[in-house]
Amino acid sequence: MKTLPVLPTICCGPETPPLDEHARTELAARFKALADPTRVAIVNRLAAANEVCVCDLTGAFELSQPTISHHLRLLREAGLVESSRRGTNAYYRLVPDAIAALRAALG
């Protein structure tokens, strides 16, 4: 008779400390911001570059500038992206600590 090895449990166990209320609320807001396919695609595009001009995002997604700005505002409010202005253009980049927190929550 063959015996099969028992794999270690991957799920959270009693040794995993619960998240405090602030951390739960912050993570929930970030995941909520990512609950839209366009915002996921924007984050994906930003992950591939140091920063991206909003004009490039408008062309890449074939969406109007106000629509892209709306999505970026929600991502910024969730703390996932930050922006800077150079002339008339706004440039967006991911917030590394926020992305690391999402990775840690899923890891």
Higher-confidence position of 78 and 104: 78
Domains of the chain: 21-106 (1.10.10.10)
Instruction: List 94's β-bridge partners, or say none.
Output: 81
pLDDT at 17: 74
Lowest mean pLDDT among 1-10, 20-29, 78-87: 1-10
Burial 45-77 (b: 16+ CB within 10 A, else e): ebeeeebbeeebbbeeeebeeeebbebbebbbe
pTM of the model: 0.79
